[in-house]
Structure 1
Amino acid sequence: MSQTVFASPFVGRDEELARLSGVLERAREGEARAVLVAGDAGVGKTRVLDEAAARAARAGTTVLTGHCVDLGDIGLPYLPFTEILGVLAADERFAPVLAAHPVVDRLLGAGPDAERDAGGRLPLFEGMAGLLADLSRATPLLLVLEDLHWADQSSRDLLRFLLSRGLLQRPAGGAPAHRLAILASYRADDLHRRHPLRPLLAELVRLPAVDRLDLRPLEDAEVTRLVRSLEARPLPETTVRRIVERAEGNAFYAQELLAATDTEAGGVPSGLADVLLIRVEQLSETAQQVLRTAAVAGRRVEHDLLRDAMGLAEEELESALREAVGRQLLVPGAGDTYAFRHALAREAVYADLLPGERSRLHGTFARLLAGRGRRAETAAERAHHYRESHDTAEALAASLEAADHAQRVGAPAEELHHLEVALDLWAAVDAAARPSGEGSDRVTLMLRASAAAAHAGESHRAVSLTRAALAGIGQDADDELGARVRYTLAGTLLYVDSLAAAFSYSSEALAMIPADPPSPTWVWAAATHVLAARQVGENATALSVARRALSMAERLDLADARADLLISLANMEGGGRRSPEARALLEEAHELARRAGNAPVEMRALFSLAIGCYEAGDLEECLPWLTEGLDRARRAGLLSSPYPLEMRYLHLLVLCTLGRWDECARTAAGDLAVLPAAGGFVVGPALYVALARGEAEEAVGRARALAEGRFDWMATMVASVVLTDAAAQRGDAEEAVARVRSAVEALTDEAGRAPDVTVRLVALALAAVADAAATARTGGDEPAVRRWSDVAGELLESARTVAVHGRTGGPQGPEGRAWLARAEAEVARATRGPDAQAWEKAVAAFGYGEVYELARCRLRYAEALLAEGRREEAAGEARAARETAVRLGAVPLRERLDALIRRGRFADGPAGPRDLSFALTAREQDVLRLLGLGRSNRQIGEELFISGKTASVHVSNILAKLSAASRTEAVAIAYREGLLVREG
């Protein structure tokens, strides 16, 4: 029978579908069963049933679907069964079976006379049961009944008869079994306490052949996959995250919100609001007023606060609440509170209020909260209600209270929000009504908001706020305030790579106040000037000012300023932060900042220690500093500030480099949930892993989304790495080269210094260039060979320049040298063919700990060795690389190595072990890897997004191919034969 065709993919219901598939399979074998599928409106019941029905139809099952329709109190009797019989009557294949049960013809003409007497229904019910039994003997049969919450009384009675009177039991006397399954859905959130379906459900679930399946809301990751699959264009991470947060696991809500992204500035899309308000309008007027009042309070409201705001007697309020809870619009919570079942329902109710009604209720809540005492934890709530009730003076005072509270608890994003609200209200409040005291002027508030923005990761907002503070300084402002504003602006400009402007403002700040007598303002202005001077290449100036400022900081006993200046000197002097001397200075700075309680400077010290270890090739030593730094940032509420973001990226990069890919992907997913707006800092290394594992489409799509919108250095860098490597893997040399050139141009700073990542990008693109040159050489196209050789030489020259003189002015460390060695080997391949000696150098260079790139270079090394006839050496390199590719799950690399092993016949001969890998499919090798980690079939299914049953089939195939009697023996064989490699 016809099935609905969905444009969207089937996402996130593998476990539920596996259960239904099991029921259908057992039904085909003669074990009749029914499943009652429950879930909220929009959660995906129809989608699951249609997917199950489609699979059943492909397996040869006849699928019949009947729908219940909301026709109010007067419904059409037997409507879903009438629909099913109409489909049967239109199909001549079923004419003989229908003819054998003429009594069911009454349903085809069902009307008011169809149930004139209760006694006449028994033959009808028995006839329907007989019809279905005979159909199930002729063909496996699936009955799908949708929306039972709208079923009429007659349909409910017939369903009760069919499920409880033998249709689901094996016939006696050796009669053929019923090859029948019944799947029926209903909305759980529509079943209020007096709903007529409730007693029937309670009766049916007690039957041994009836199961219940509750469809949970989708996980955030599943909604993310759904949203991205529904939109052809790449979506920004912030847009996706906002949809996921608001949808709360409801697929229909997610699709409606996505459809409204281009047309709605905010609020609930009108079509969705109409759907949500229908259920509200079914309540009594008092219950509706309770919901409207609760919507003004927020997502959650205390019982006593709601009672006082409503002015209702306790009994009347409880009756209205019981009605709202019974209709599942509100849910009781801890602490005698009530919350809207779904945030979008609250938004829809709130948007439906009249403006005057909304303002009056906000004022009521503001006064009630203020009457309870001005507690700091209620300041944000009071500020919101005062603002919405247009009491600007009280809103300003409460907003500043809320900002103070957010600062104390380490919540910079919330502090910024409250400060910006206060700044917006400032001009609307009379000067006499504004807060007084130190730090209560508009310029100081802007500086404080700028600091909060920087700590919250809103660098561009920090710049805007500081510029506004500079514009707000009056002619009579003292020089010290002017200097503070200017060096603060310089610091914020450094965050957005406006280096020349930062140097200009830091120079002005330093010139505005004298160095003598010593002052903290001059020391901090000098510390900022050191950073800016170094960024524009004024290293001599930076060193001179840093040493002078350090001496002054020691005289004034400014421990945190001393720490900041020591960090700058460690980065500039001697061998830079990679040297042992620099590490000693950085550890001293870390301790000074820790004792002074200056978390931002402490973050800078910890990041410098970590990146110094990374640049020296000490990857394992890098991790403890990163762990400490991120933990400190978490406790200080600074996870979104610049240095913790850098540490987060570096942490993921180290995990990726060391080959701890599963840990990298898990950590990135967790980080993205905490910091959805962190962009490239969080998703970068996870995209490198996804691309290496063969998930190119997803990696490229997310990389392109990263590169959209306002320029972001880290997002551009990450996107460039992914897109260049993806183009190279596709063999698209033109695009790979274009990506490198555009990336280097975009990432080059104002002083004309190319980014350090240039070397990596060049090496990635040269892989495609060398392939293109090799193809041209094989085809005898000498002009193309010369062209690609020239391109290779040009790219290599730019990589060498950066490797020798990076952004810090000195040569790059082990990572940069390794990428340069790979680039040189690729150029040799482009100009004269495979060069084993060049690839041997690249393999050695990546031995510092870069697991995946080492394996990629070993592949090229093996190819070069084979070309020189050194077959046994080539076989050894290929097998070593393949072990790494299998362990990492790097499918494209493993497939290329398999092709090389076949081409070189490395599995032949006495030296080679038996190669069982070719007997396993790519999916079976993925399953084998998880078997080696001790995963159950269900866990394997979850990790590979397949059903547990499918995973079981793969496991059985693996056992057969490896001649193993058990999972344990299969894993042992896999380790012995090199199909699995133990980590470490």
Structure 2
Amino acid sequence: MLGTVQNTNVSPVFVGRTDELAALTDALARAADGEPQALLVGGEAGVGKTRLVEEFLSAAAAAGAVTAVGGCVEIGADGLPFAPVSTALRALHRKLGDALAVAAAGQEGELARLLPELGETTRESHDEDGRARLFELTARLLERLTADRTLVLAIEDLHWADRSTRELLGYLFRSLQTARLVIVATYRSDDIHRRHPLRPFLAELDRTRSVHRVELSRFTRAEVGAQLTGISGARPDRELLDRIFERSDGNAFFVEEIVASLSCGCSTGLSESLRDLLLVRVEALPDAVQRVIRIAAEGGSTVEYELLRAVTGLGEDELIEALRTAVGANILLPTPDGDGYRFRHALVREAVVDDLLPGERSRLNRRYAEALEAAPGIVRADERPARLASYWYHAHDPAKALPAVLDASVRARGRYAYAEQLRLLERALELWEDVPAEVRERQRPVDDAGVYPACGCSDEALRRLDLLAETVVAAQMAGDRERALAIVKSGLRLLDEHKEPLRAAWFRTQRGRMLGALGRGDARVEFAHAQELVRGLPPSAVHAEVLTQVAAWEATHTPGPGSYGIAERAVELSRLVGAESTELNARLTLAGLKIDAGDAEGGIAEMRAVCGRVVELGNVHVLGRCYINLASALEGVGRSAEAVEVATEGARELCRFGLPDARSWVFGNASESLFSLGRWEESEEAARECLRIAQSLKSRGIAASRFTRLALVRGHWERAERELATAREHYDAHQPEPQHTIPLARFTVELAAARGRIAEGRAALDGVLEQGVNPAVQRYVWPLLVAAATAEADARGLPAAEPGRAGVLDRIRAGAKQLARAVPVWDAYGIFLEAELQRAEDGRQDADRWADAVAAFEATDRPYELARVRYRWAEALLATGGSGAEAAAKPLREAYESAERIGARPLREATELLARRARLSLTPATAAPPAAEEPAPAESLGLTPRERDVLRLVAQGHSNRRIAEELFISPKTASVHVSNILAKLGVSGRGEAAALAHRFRLFSPAGAG
């Protein structure tokens, strides 16, 4: 079936099949020990049998085995006698030459029947003894050839093998006992119909313990993604992956052919050559069977027997006989419940449908629709609306199709199938103008609990604007914001804002939401326009919706007293007009602003109350915000364990309600909280899941932000650079939101400090401080200020850092004075900041202040921050001398254990270095080393005396030429020393080396080594 088609888009990367390849390589190992192996690899055409065998043969050859391949040839009803065995022996003869001739010595005449290159055949013998002798000689030949080597014979397309080949292989499988031989044979399982001669052969082999079966299944979605990545060299976008996976059903060959078709400009992905190929088996069947297959193809992926009987008009015996033939040919399969039939492969059905004439398709769909209306019970109740809508739509009967499509869209929404609802509503829009007016007037708007409150009372006839509004909501719920924006624009073009201000205000509000989500423009302009449209009108649900969306936008972009007042008015107005869904949304915004204002307990209690009511109502339009905002709020006030619980519940519930993008945000929140708890592996996994299901730039930016933070604390500077750039790229497309921009500024400061780029870090800090420190965003500003103060303290003494230091520290202090410490975690950051500022200003370490920081963080779920302040406390205690060294051992050891456990490499290395300098043990059971002269700090890093001299000058900002002059060496020698230093310190540049030297205090202020 597939033998004549040449692959043009083959992945160079071998995908999946880990277990199957392991089974083959295990067989090779057993064969190498003298235990012959036989394996049968089955699977449908195109599933990847040949690719698996090729990969195995390459591995076998690399392991020193001699490999040979033979393929069966299809000629009429049976194959060419002994063709695959002859081909394989011929390949062995070319590779082994004299060795094969020696093994065949004395029996050349008989074996020439299989390998003519051995000479003339002996006189023919037509009895069973002659045939048995040939089989025995072949077995002995293989045994001799494997005496000092391992052989691997691959026989492809066993379904085309002649009887003689099957009998010879069966003899070899049973008779070989000690040969170092592997025989691998492949066959197409979908070609093995009930009367196929290979079927009894396989059944017989199944009773042979020495023969192992390997069945290849189709690729999973992830494996198809890997295959597409191998083909194109880049990860495919989710839409393309979903499309190709759905159409190929995971068949590797079909994936390649669809890609090839698409790359050649075929929009359907089903090229003429592939279509013809798929129809070969269908067209070989009797006409009556082909007719049933064509009718079944138009009925859908699965067709119930009674429905098929009604549409075909055949008698029961005739239909059953046709179905039996189609099933025997592996075109159709019975459904698991035994109630109907489905195509074995979706692409075969698609090829059959494409082969139908347009009029023929329309007629068949009408017959399906009429049969279903006449007997609704012949299909499942949950499937009936969608099936009926599809049949009438493809029957090209708009008057029948529109009511059916609208009914199906309501059912789809009720099952949270928003993508399907969107598709159905778009069909309704397509049909609208072709439907008679009296039919349109009988349709009614969908009651959507106030989501589209502008459509009027429920007995008002459905208008095109109402249908557009319903489609906007469906597109939003499906995560297709591009489509939602396009439909909103269509609605605005149809509106006269002076005559219908409420409808216009609703559409303007949705336009603002979509522009903000997509980063396409200033959402405030649209919201302001909507507010003007409702100004002076009686209170309405639309007015409440406009205020609620304005409050939500203000809360994320310019939080503060102004946004608080708008949220309060939105709640009041929503209650006044009885719009509970809008009220819940507004209360959620107001609760978040309460927390930002310092009322953490009151705000969280209100959020929980709102979320409880939303879940009780099953209000999917607010559900996503509930879990996202509550998890984020709990994290913001330091209750990370609760935040993880909420996020976990949210991920489960949002999956149930079909809200993937909201779910990706929840995973982003979970990643943040898991990081805070020191569960960094789980944090990374949650971030990966966030990225996998993300449907918007913002949610992708969240994932990149989480990856950035993890890379920073692990000391993976290069990855941190990449992920930070990715996060900026995603967020820069939108209007700045403090919840995103401030953490990115913090990461920039931390990365710049690690790389010795002082000016870059200061610029990032000033970019935030110049906007004014809003008390409502303290949860993000506290860590930023601590990062900036830490960077200044670590860089103290670095020549490039001294100019402007005092001004930077003053700005940090001024920013901190504007922040509240209403919850323990904010207070802990405040104490941390005070200690770092003192270290940055005069280099002094106040042990008591660091002890306060340790006590503050011990009351929080922040093991990483706790380890950092414990390290600084130990450093401060060591600086006091005397008994301070003994007191430092415990916090230093605890800091080391935490850093080691959570994977904070830079912090772990800092604690190890400090312990070596102080001659302290980091393990309680290990006795302290005997007193000895303390090594120079730089020497503890493995640097030679000359390299320590060079590093000291690098830390002072000198060039290679200046270093050469100072040390009386050549510039080239200085360059070599610098390169060696960078390698030993594991840094990428001079600035980073200088920053590390100052951060770890490798040299005294005077510069002595």
- TM-score tier (shorter): 0.7 to 0.9
| Distance in 1 of aligned mates of 2:266 and 2:877 | 61
**Structure 2 match to 1:123:** 133
Report what 1:655 is aligned to: 674
Aligned equivalents of 2:550, 2:122: Cα separation in 1: 92
What 5-or-longer segments of structure 1 have no aligned partner?
170-176, 681-711, 774-787, 916-984
Match of 2:351 in 1: 348
Residue 540 of structure 2 aligns with which residue? 519
CA contact (8 A) 2:112 2:121 kept: no
Of 330-339 and 545-554, deviating more is 545-554
Corresponding residue of 1:783: none
Could you tell me which of 153, 157, 161 is aligned with 1:151? 161
Given that 2:372 and 2:388 are in contact with CA atoms closer than 8 Å, whether structure 1 keeps it comes out as: yes
Map of 1:747 onto structure 2: 731
| CA offsets 1:711-751 (integer angstroms, 9 cap, x no match) | x2332454466579879999888x97798678557635876
8 A contact 1:66–1:80 mirrored in 2: yes
SS at match of 2:403: helix
Partner residue, 1:584: 605
Contact 1:907 1:914 in 2 (8 A): no
Q: Which deviations, in whole Å up to 9, do the C-alpha atoms of 1:462-487 show, x marking residues without a partner?
A: 22222222221247844333333333
1:798 aligns with 2:767: yes
Contact 1:11–1:222 (CA under 8 A) maintained in structure 2: yes
Quote the residue 1:639 is aligned against: 659
2:206 corresponds to: 205
CA separation in 1, counterparts of 2:725 and 2:710? 14
Counterpart of 1:931 in structure 2 is none
The aligned residue for residue 366 of structure 1 is 369
Tell me by how many angstroms 1:78 deviates.
Answer: 0.8
CA contact (8 A) 1:446 1:465 kept: yes
How many Å separate the matches in 2 of 1:861 and 1:248?
A: 60
- Distance, in Å, in 1 between the alignment partners of 2:49 and 2:295 is 32
Deviates more, 1:217-226 or 1:715-724: 715-724
CA distance in 1: counterparts of 2:800 and 2:857, whole angstroms: 23
The verdict on how the C-alpha distance between 1:539 and 1:670 changes in structure 2, with shifts beyond 3 A counting, is: closer
Q: Among residues 550, 575, 589, which one is paired with 1:529 in the alignment? A: 550
**What is the distance in 2 between the residues matched to 1:430 and 1:510?**
37
* One-letter amino acid matched to 2:413: Q
1:348 corresponds to which letter in structure 2? A
Q: Measure the CA separation in 2 of the matches of 1:857 and 1:193.
A: 74
Deviations 1:293-333 (A, max 9, x none): 21111111111111222222222221221122122222111
Counterpart of 1:617?
Answer: 638
In structure 2, distance between residues paired with 1:714 and 1:211: 48
2:172 is the counterpart of 1:162: yes
Q: What CA distance in whole angstroms lies between the structure 1 residues aligned with 2:487 and 2:248?
A: 33
- In structure 2, which of residues 42, 48, 53 is the aligned counterpart of residue 49 of structure 1? 53
1:546-597 C-alpha deviation (Å, 9 max, x unpaired): 4444444444454444433333333335734872232233334345555666
Q: Distance in 2 between matches of 1:907 and 1:214?
A: 63
- Residues 41-80 of structure 1, C-alpha deviation per residue, up to 9 Å, x if partnerless? 2222222223333333333322222221223336321111
The secondary structure found in structure 2 opposite 1:208 is coil
After alignment, is 131-140 or 267-276 more displaced?
Answer: 267-276
Which residue of structure 1 aligns with residue 280 of structure 2?
278
Alignment CA distance shift 1:837-1:143 (3 Å): farther
User: 1:789 and 2:758 equivalent?
Assistant: yes
Query: Aligned partners of 1:586 and 1:145: how far apart in 2?
Result: 67
Match in the other structure for 1:65: 69
* Contact 1:533-1:542 within 8 A present in 2 as well: yes
Separation in structure 1 between the aligned mates of residue 532 and residue 429 of structure 2, nearest angstrom: 30
Q: Tell whether 2:508 aligns with 1:486.
A: yes
Partner of 1:453: 475
Residue 28 of structure 1: aligned partner: 32
| Higher radius of gyration, 1 or 2 | 2
C-alpha spacing 1:655/1:331, structure 2 compared with 1 (3 Å): farther
Per-residue CA deviations over 1:109-147 (Å, capped at 9, x if unaligned) read: 399999873543233222211211211223222222121
Q: How does 1:97-112 map to 2 (within 5 A)?
A: 97-102=103-108, 103-109=110-116
* 8 Å Cα contact 1:536-1:750 kept in structure 2: no
For residue 945 of structure 1, what is the aligned residue in structure 2?
Answer: none
Task: Identify which range, 199-208 or 468-477, moves more after superposition.
Answer: 468-477
User: Offset of 1:200 from its aligned partner?
Assistant: 1.2
CA displacement, residues 477-513 of structure 1 (integer Å, 9 cap, x when unaligned): 443333333334444444335673x333333333334
Query: Which aligned pairs between 1:67-86 and structure 2 lie closer than 5 A?
Result: 67-73=71-77, 75-86=79-90
Q: Give the superposition deviation at 1:452.
A: 1.5
Provide the C-alpha distance between the structure 1 equivalents of 2:375 and 2:771, rounded to a whole number of angstroms: 64
Could you tell me how far 1:823 is from its partner in structure 2? 5.2
Name the SS of the counterpart of 1:812 in structure 2.
helix
Q: Secondary structure at the match of 2:146?
A: helix
Cα gap change, 1:818 to 1:16, in 2 (>3 Å)? farther
Q: Map 1:136-285; keep pairs closer than 5 Å.
A: 136-164=146-174, 166-167=175-176, 169=177, 177-262=178-263, 263-285=265-287
Indicate if the aligned counterparts of 1:563 and 1:588 stay in contact, CA closer than 8 A.
Answer: no
Secondary structure of the corresponding residue to residue 137 of structure 1: coil
**8 A Cα contact 2:46 2:252, kept in partner:** yes
Please tell me the residue identity of whatever aligns with 1:789: I
C-alpha deviations, 1:846-894, integer Å up to 9, x for none?
A: 9854667888999999999999999999998998677667766x6xx66
The alignment's C-alpha RMSD in Å is: 4.5
1:68–1:150: 8 Å Cα contact kept in structure 2? Answer: yes
Deviations 1:203-225 (A, max 9, x none): 12212322222223333333333
> d(CA) in 1 for partners of 2:465 and 2:431?
14
In structure 2, list runs of 5 or more residues that go unmatched: 1-8, 445-459, 803-835, 927-1009
**2:75 alignment partner, SS class:** coil
Report Cα offsets for 1:354-377 as digits up to 9, x if no partner: 323222222221222222249674
Post-superposition shift, 1:443? 0.4
Q: Percent identity?
A: 33
Change (3 A) 1:749 1:307: closer
In structure 2, how many angstroms separate the alpha carbons of the residues matched to 1:554 and 1:487?
A: 20
Equivalent position of 2:981 in the other structure: none
- Cα distance in 1 for partners of 2:403, 2:274 equals 37
Corresponding residue of 1:336: 339
- Structure-2 residue corresponding to 1:37: 41
* 1:291 alignment partner in structure 2: 293
Is the Cα–Cα contact under 8 Å of residues 581 and 619 in structure 2 kept in the other structure? yes
- Write the deviation string for residues 906-957 of structure 1: whole angstroms up to 9, x where unpaired: 9999765899xxxxxxxxxxxxxxxxxxxxxxxxxxxxxxxxxxxxxxxxxx
Query: What is the CA–CA distance in structure 2 between the aligned matches of 1:727 and 1:604, rounded to whole Å?
Result: 29
Task: Report the equivalent of 2:585.
Answer: 564
- The 8 Å contact of residues 99 and 145 in structure 2, kept in 1 or not, is answered as no
Matched position secondary structure for 1:291: helix
Secondary structure in structure 2 of the residue aligned to 1:138: coil
Which TM-score applies when normalising by structure 1?
Answer: 0.75
Where does residue 412 of structure 2 map in the other structure? 406
2:684–2:707 Cα contact (<8 Å) kept: no
Q: Are the counterparts in 2 of residues 267 and 351 from structure 1 also a CA contact under 8 Å?
A: no
How far apart are 1:440 and its partner, in Å?
0.9
How many pairs were matched up? Answer: 845
Deviations 1:610-653 (A, max 9, x none): 21111112111213333444455455x352465x5432431343
Q: 1:141 to 1:542 in 2, by over 3 A?
A: closer
- CA apart distance, 1:515: 5.7
Residue of structure 1 aligned with 2:315, choices 305, 313, 330: 313
C-alpha distance in 1 between matches for 2:872 and 2:231: 39
User: Residue deviations 1:426-465, cap 9 Å, x none?
Assistant: 1222323324242510001111111111122222322222
Q: Tell me if structure 1 keeps the 8 A contact 2:594–2:602.
A: no
